[in-house]
Amino acid sequence: MNWEEELKTLIRARYPIIWLTSSEEQRVIQKLSEITTDLEKTFYVWSATKGIQKLTADLEDVDPGAVSIDSSLMAFTELINQEKAVMLMKDIHPFIQEPLTIRMFKDIYFELKNSYSTLILLAPITDIPIDLQKYVTVIDIPLPEKEELRKILEVMVKDVNEALNLNIELNGNTDTILNAGLGLTLDEFENVLAKSIVAKRNLDPSTIITEKEQIIKKTGILEYYHSMESMEDIGGLENLKSWLMRRKKAFSREAREFGLRPPKGILMVGAPGTGKSLTAKATAKLFGMPLLKLDMSKVFGSLVGESEKNMAEALKIAESIAPCILFVDEIEKAFAGISSSGETDSGVTARVIGQLLTWMQERQKPVFVVATCNDPFKLPPEMTRAGRFDDIFHVDLPSRSEREEIFRIHLNKIGRDPGNFDISEFARLTEGYSGAEIEQIITEALYRAFDEGLELDNQHIIEEIQGYMPLSKKRKDEIERIRKWAEIYCKPASIRDSESGSKARRIEL
C-alpha cells in the first residue's frame, strides 16, 4: 500500500491521531484535500502563526482567536461535535513536548475515538513523546516516486506550451527526466523544470541532473559523487573485489527471483591510505549506480531537532534515488561524542546514530551502504552487530605482491611503462607502506626527476623510498591493535602472501 492509500484507510478506519513525517507541506495538504473531499469531511489546517483555518478553495479563517495549541485543540473538540472533520497541524514537533500539551492530546484522542474526525500531525521528523506513542500512528512519507513526478511533468509541459507558446516535446526524454527528478520534493522538481525551461526554452535532462545535484548538495550532508575510479585502479584486495563482484550480481532481477535479498552493504576497516575510500568509489562504477556521499560530521546541526531532520532527509533522498550507493566515509567520526553524548548534547548524537542503525536494519529500498573506518575502537558495538552490514572487511597494509601491483597502477597513471622499472625491488623495500604512501613516493620521485631534467628511473624511486618514514612505523602498536580486533570481527580484504613471497593462499569466504 502506498502512503496515500494508507492515510485514507487510517482516516476511514477512524484512527484518532496520525503523525505524518514529511517536509513537503503542500504535497500533504493537496493529498489531504483530495481525501477529505472524497470522504466528505471538512478540512482544517492549523499553524502556529495562523491558528485554525478551514481549507476551502481559499483558506478561510474559522476562529482567528484559536492560535495557541490549547485553545485550538479546544476549538477542534467543539467542531468535531458538529461535523466530520480532519485537522492538519503543521510543524508540530517543537510544541508537543510539554507535559500539559501531552495531556491535552491524550484528552482529544478519546474525544476523537468517538467521532468521525481525525487529527493529523505533520513534522519533518518523527519525534513523538514516549507518553503519546501509543496514541499516535505514524506514516513516514517518502519522496515522490516517478508516477507522481510524471503528473507534474505532464501538467507543466502542457501549461508552458499554452502560456508561452512554446513547443516543448518530451519525445524519448521522459524517463531520463523523471529519473533525474528522483530524490527531489515535488516543489523542487517543479522549480528544476521551470529553470530548465527559462534557461533553455526546453526540458534539458543534463540541466535537470545538474540542478538536482545542486539541490542535494544544499542539504549540506549529502553529495552526489561522480565516480571515475574503477576496480582496475585498485591494487590487491582480491577477496574484497571478488566479494563485490558477486554482490553486484545479487542486485539483478534474476537474483531477486532466485530468492536473494538486495545486499545491504559493507564496512571496511583499516589503516589510513589503504584504499578504502578508493574501493567505495570504484564500487559505484562496478555496480553502475550513483554514489551519494554522506558526511557524518555535517549531520549535526546547532538547532533543536536539526540533526535528526538532516539525517531523516538524507536517508529519504537515498531511498528515493535507489538503487544507489550510500558512501559513509570514516563513519567513526560521527561517534566522537557518543559516550558523553548524554551530557554534552542531550543525546542527539546517540539518537542520530540510532536513526541510521535502525534504518540500516529496516530499509526496504536497494541502498547499498559502503562505510569506511580508520579506527574500529571508536565504533559502538551496535555498529558491528550482525544484520547491519553483510560483511566487515579488514583492509590491511598491502602485501608484497599487492605493493607490486600498486606500483604498476600508479606508474601507468603517470604514463610510464612499469616494465622499465624494478618493481619487485620497490616492493621489497616498501614493507609497511600504504597504497597512498606508494602513490606519494611516485609523485615525489617524478617531481625530482623533472627538477633534474632527467627521465624518471629506478634510482629516483628508490631514493624516495629510503627517505620516507611510513605511518605504520610511527603507529606500530595501533596497527597491531587493529589487526587483533580484525581477526575477530572481519574478513581479510586481501589474499595474504608472506613477506618472503611464497605462493598466495586463497582464503575461503
Ligand X SMILES: Nc1ncnc2c1ncn2[C@@H]1O[C@H](COP(=O)(O)OP(=O)(O)O)[C@@H](O)[C@H]1O
Which residues are 215's β-sheet partners?
none
Residue 436, contacted partner among Mg ion, ligand X, none, CB below 5-8 A by kind: ligand X
Residue with Cβ nearer Mg ion (227 or 277): 277
Residue 28 CB, nearest approach to ligand X (Å): 41
Give the contacts of 283 (CB within 8 A, at least 6 positions apart): 244, 291, 325, 368, 370
Judged by CB under 6 A, the stretch of 247-255, 356-364, 431-439, 497-505 that binds ligand X is: 431-439
β-strand 291-294 against 222-225: which pairing, if any?
Answer: antiparallel
CB of 329 to ligand X, least distance (A): 7
Site string for ligand X, 136-175 (x = CB under 6 A): ----------------------------------------
Among ligand X, Mg ion, none, partner that 203 touches (CB below 5 to 8 angstroms by kind): none
Binding of ligand X by 406 (CB under 6 A): yes
**Residue indicated by cell numbers 478506519:** 13
Q: Which of 103, 125, 58 is nearest to 314 (CA)?
A: 125
Q: With respect to Mg ion, which residue has the nearer C-beta, 320 or 434?
A: 434
**Binding partner at 273 among ligand X, Mg ion, none, C-beta below 5 to 8 Å by kind:** ligand X
Binding flag, residue 277, ligand X (CB under 6 A)? yes
Q: Which is nearer to ligand X, 53 or 372 (CB)?
A: 372
**Which of Mg ion, ligand X, none does residue 265 bind to, with CB < 5 to 8 Å depending on kind?**
none
* Binding region for ligand X (CB under 6 A) out of 205-213, 218-226, 268-276, 444-452: 268-276
Phi, psi (rounded to 5 degrees) for 173: -85, -10
User: Is residue 435 involved in binding ligand X (CB under 6 A)?
Assistant: yes
Quote the least distance from Cβ 52 to Mg ion, whole Å: 52
Rounded Cα distance, 134 and 467, in Å: 66
* Chosen from ligand X, Mg ion, none, partner binding at 278 (C-beta under 5 to 8 Å by type): ligand X
Please give the helix or strand (H or E) that residue 385 lies within, else none: none
With respect to ligand X, which residue has the nearer C-beta, 272 or 337?
A: 272
Question: Which listed residue (212, 276, 285, 408) binds ligand X by CB under 6 A?
Answer: 276
| Residue 274 binds ligand X, judged by CB under 6 A | yes
Q: Is the CB of 87 or the CB of 271 nearer to Mg ion? A: 271
Question: Strand order in 42-47's β-sheet?
Answer: 59-61, 51-55, 42-47, 85-89, 118-123, 17-21, 136-140
Which of 272, 380, 418, 501 forms a contact with ligand X (CB under 6 A)?
Answer: 272
Q: Binding partner of residue 185 among ligand X, Mg ion, none, CB under 5 to 8 Å per kind?
A: none
What are the Cα distances from residue 8, in Å, to 35, 89, 95, 127? 6, 17, 26, 22
Phi, psi torsion values for 294, nearest 5 degrees: -100, 120
| C-alpha grid cell, residue 75 | 476549538
Does 372 bind ligand X (CB under 6 A)? Our answer is yes
> Could you tell me whether strands 17-21 and 136-140 are parallel, antiparallel, or unpaired per DSSP bridges?
parallel
Our finding on whether 262 is near ligand X (CB under 6 A) is no
**Rounded Cα–Cα distance for residues 181 and 197 (Å):** 15
* DSSP symbols for 424-484: HHHHHHTTT--HHHHHHHHHHHHHHHHHHT----HHHHHHHHHT---HHHHTHHHHHHHHH
Is residue 72 within 8 A of residue 66, CB to CB? The reply is yes
Chain residues 200-259 in contact with ligand X, contact rule CB under 6 A: 234-237
Point out which span in 75-83, 151-159, 273-281, 470-478 binds ligand X (CB under 6 A): 273-281
- CA proximity to 373, closest of 264, 291, 485: 485
The residue from 42, 117, 118, 277 that contacts Mg ion (CB under 5 A) is 277
**Ranges of H-type helices in 164-229:** 174-181, 186-200, 205-218
Does 328 bind ligand X (CB under 6 A)? Our answer is no
Binding site for ligand X (CB under 6 A): 234-237, 272-278, 372, 398, 406, 409, 435-436, 439
Binding site for Mg ion (CB under 5 A): 277
